[in-house]
Amino acid sequence: MIHPVLLCGGSGTRLWPLSRKSYPKQFARLMGDESLFQASARRLSGEGFAAPLIVTGDPFRFIVTEQLAQTRQAPQGILIEPEGRNTAPAVLAAALWLAESDEDALMLVAPSDHVIPDAAAFRAAATAATPRAKAGDLVTFGITPDRAETGYGYLELAKGADAAADTPQSLARFVEKPDEARAREMVADGNFLWNAGIFLFTAGAVLDAYRAHAPAMLDAVGRALQGASCDLGFTRLDAGPWVEAEDTSIDYAIMEKADNLAVMPYAAGWSDLGGWDAVWMESGPDDQGNVCSDHATAISCEDTLLRSETPGLELVGIGLKDMIAIAMNDAVLVAHKSQAQRVKEAVTALKARGASQAVQLPRDYRPWGWYESLAIGGRFQVKRIVVNPGAALSLQSHHHRSEHWIVVEGTARVTVGDEVKLLTENQSVYIPLGAVHRMENPGKLPMVLIEVQTGSYLGEDDIIRYEDVYARD
């Protein structure tokens, strides 16, 4: 049985403005009707695969459970990192968690933001790599390169290994991201594969590697797991020892030092969607090389990506070549395709200016649903709020604002003080400043309401919670 370990704590700044710190690319619908995280969970499921073990951050814990539920899957566990410390501590926490019940558990560690179109072929590759992993090797997956890519690390196969084999091969070394000339040389050589950052090994084998090469990290993460707390099915690692673990990748901490390595060649298609140029390539450009989303139109354009991420916002490109244009209702990105890797510079510049668009999507996802601001003034704000079936906001009050709620879809159960009543479409209620209140959706369909806030301060930190089914502070 293979235990998928999905890593989904990254921020994905290279796909701004669609991917932001508040809702990174693994949870976005970049390539079809499912998020990258959902596609990853489906790909690593079925016969021979256990339920996934998820490693993520606190802000994403309810997004993970909701998106998994939409794929009709339940996780075997969700580990909450107190803060991101790169892949080495994350993988170690998963290995320790699995080893508590079975040191021989096979771990298939994979980022949750990659695109692998042929799920069956990848599962077959994982199955083919299993004997080598069971024998105690640390197996990494290498992608057959189709171009001289400078954005990936490479894997050099050992002398006599076959880069086109359908079984694991011996690995000589890891190679850092090269310049263009060196990348062309390695692709022409034929003995190099892209480093996919996907691994297969037993929990016991990788723990032995940490004991040999990163004992301090093993101690810190071990104490973080021992001191973990559980609430609502999540395992929260202890923040104190966790921050003592070195912030580094598993490549640097373990793989580049271990001597029991193998590489499983894979040639059936893969992308880490590391920039908008990769999204353009993976989206299947038309005969003119263009990729257009709904609400986007290309006129006399070539090799161009046009995406409107907001219904009702029409994006039109005229006479463009090798361009990227991504439009959202609060931010627009326009860049030459050759400059796609510089998008994170834009995020840095926006952060320096204090622009909320650097990290925050206009739609704010919460465990009960989501909301977005429709209009903001000096002493008022208008929001659209969507509450999932059976979900409830916390019982709360505000020091600085009053609210009007108008139900426009579904039914709301509303508590104001000691009064509880049902509101249906076109009905409304007033929440005075300081009143203890709550809204719930008792129905089987999403409930939508318009909230009008008025007051001297409208920030989200003006909330006093008295009860919360999601155990938020």
d(CA 248, CA 236): 20
Q: What is the pLDDT of residue 473?
A: 65
Q: What pLDDT is stored for residue 215 in this prediction?
A: 97
- Give the three-class secondary structure for 73: coil
pLDDT of residue 460: 87
- Residue pair 413/420 in contact by the 8 Å Cβ criterion: yes
- Rounded Cα distance between 59 and 78, Å, is 13
Q: Please count the other Cβ atoms lying within 10 Å of the Cβ belonging to residue 288.
A: 12
Question: Which sign, positive or negative, has the C-alpha torsion 179, 180, 186, 187?
Answer: positive
Task: State the pLDDT at residue 43.
Answer: 95
Sheet architecture: strand order including 464-467? 419-423, 412-416, 437-440, 395-397, 464-467
Please, where are the H alpha helices in 322-392?
343-352
Peptide bond before residue 17 is cis, with ω within 30 degrees of 0: yes
CATH class of 2-266: alpha beta
| Amino acid making up residue 84 | G
pLDDT averaged over consecutive 10-residue blocks of the chain (473 residues)? Answer: 93 90 92 93 94 95 92 94 95 98 96 94 96 96 91 90 92 89 90 95 98 97 96 92 96 93 94 93 95 96 96 96 96 96 94 94 91 93 96 95 97 96 96 96 96 94 90 73
Cα separation, 183 vs 195, whole angstroms: 13
Helix or strand (DSSP H, E) at 70? helix 61-70
**Inter-CA distances, 20 with 223, 331, 360, Å:** 31, 12, 6
Place of tokens 């590391």: 274
Strand order in 401-409's β-sheet? 363-366, 369-376, 380-387, 447-455, 401-409, 428-431
Domain boundaries, the chain: 2-266, 276-351, 363-467
Q: What H or E segment, with its residue span, contains residue 429?
A: strand 428-431
Task: Select 363-467's CATH number: 2.60.120.10, 2.130.10.10, 3.30.200.20, 3.40.50.880.
Answer: 2.60.120.10
**Contact status, residue 228 vs residue 235, Cβ threshold 8 Å:** yes
